[in-house]
C-alpha cells in the first residue's frame, strides 16, 4: 500500500515550525493547500502549493492526510479554520494528531484528530482534547479537563483540573486557569492572566 501524501492545509506564520516538526517525526509534508500568494511565495521551488478547490477534487482520503497550517491567532481564525476544514472532514479526510517527541501525553488522555502538541507540553490523565486543539510549547492540561474543538493554548499556559474550555477559545501564553473554571466558546484570555472564575463566551480577560 502506498502511504498517503501529507499536506499542510492553510498557511500562516506557524507553518515553517510545523513543517520542521513533521520532518523530525519522519512524516514530511509534500504539499501546501492554500489560495494565498504568501504561501506560493514562501514555498516557491520547494514544495507544491495547490488551491483548496483543486486539492479537494484531485485527492481522496486514501491518498492524502491533512495537517492544520492555519493561523492560531485569537478570535476569528478559529471560525476560519473550522470553515476551511469542513468540506474535507465531510469527505472523510484524515487529520492526524501531531505530537512532538518531547511532549508528554498520558495513556488515559484523549487526543482527537487534528490536534497539535508541541515540545514540553503535558496532557495529564483523563484530560481530553477536541478536534484541532493546539498546545504550545510547555503548556499543561491537568486531569479531567476538557478542551473543545479548535481551542488554542499558548506556550507555558497551565490549565487546572476539571476545567472546561469552549470551542475556539484562546488561552494566552503563561496563563493559569484554576481548577473547575468554565471558559466559554471563543473567549480570549490574555497572556499572563490568572483566571479564578468562569468566563462567558466571547469575553476577554486581561492579565
Q: What is the pLDDT of residue 2?
A: 53
Q: Are 202 and 185 in contact (CB under 8 A)?
A: yes
For 180, phi then psi, to 5°, come to: 80, 0
Mean pLDDT of the residues in the chain: 89
At 1, the pLDDT band (50, 70, 90 cuts) reads very low
Q: What is the mean pLDDT of residues 194-198?
A: 97
Locate all alpha helices (DSSP H) within 59-197, ordered by sequence. Answer: 77-90
Separation of alpha carbons 107 and 125, rounded Å: 7
Q: Report the predicted TM-score, pTM, of the whole model to 2 decimal places.
A: 0.90
178 close to 162: Cβ distance less than 8 angstroms: no
Identify the structural domains of the chain with CATH numbers, from first to last. 5-90 (3.40.50), 97-207 (2.160.10.10)
Give the model's pLDDT for residue 146.
98
22: helix, strand or coil: helix
Average pLDDT over residues 53-76: 79
DSSP SS3 for 20: helix
Q: What is the pLDDT of residues 65-124, one digit of tens each?
A: 999 887 555 555 566 777 778 888 899 999 999 999 999 999 999 999 999 999 999 999
Contact predicate 89/81, CB 8 Å: no
Residues 41-66 have a mean pLDDT of: 85
Amino acid at each position: 500500500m502506498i502511504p498517503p501524501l501529507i499536506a499542510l492545509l492553510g498557511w500562516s506564520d506557524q507553518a515553517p515550525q510545523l513543517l520542521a516538526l513533521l520532518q523530525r517525526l519522519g512524516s514530511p509534508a509534500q504539499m501546501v493547500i492554500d489560495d494565498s500568494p504568501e504561501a506560493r511565495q514562501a514555498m516557491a521551488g520547494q514544495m507544491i502549493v495547490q488551491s483548496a478547490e483543486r486539492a479537494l477534487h484531485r485527492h481522496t482520503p486514501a491518498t492524502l492526510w491533512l495537517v492544520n497550517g492555519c493561523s492560531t491567532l485569537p478570535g476569528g481564525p478559529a471560525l476560519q479554520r473550522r470553515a476551511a476544514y469542513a468540506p474535507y472532514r465531510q469527505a472523510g479526510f484524515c487529520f492526524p494528531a501531531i505530537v512532538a517527541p518531547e511532549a508528554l501525553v498520558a495513556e488515559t488522555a484523549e487526543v482527537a484528530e487534528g490536534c497539535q502538541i508541541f515540545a514540553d507540553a503535558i496532557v495529564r490523565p483523563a484530560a481530553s482534547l477536541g478536534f484541532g486543539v493546539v498546545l504550545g510549547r510547555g503548556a499543561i492540561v491537568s486531569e479531567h479537563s476538557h478542551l473543545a474543538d479548535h481551542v488554542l493554548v499558548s506556550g507555558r499556559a497551565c490549565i487546572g483540573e476539571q476545567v472546561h474550555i469552549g470551542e475556539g477559545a484562546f488561552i494566552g501564553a503563561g496563563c493559569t486557569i484554576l481548577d473547575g473554571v468554565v471558559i466559554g466558546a471563543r473567549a480570549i484570555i490574555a497572556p499572563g492572566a490568572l483566571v479564578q472564575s468562569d468566563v462567558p463566551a466571547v469575553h476577554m480577560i486581561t492579565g
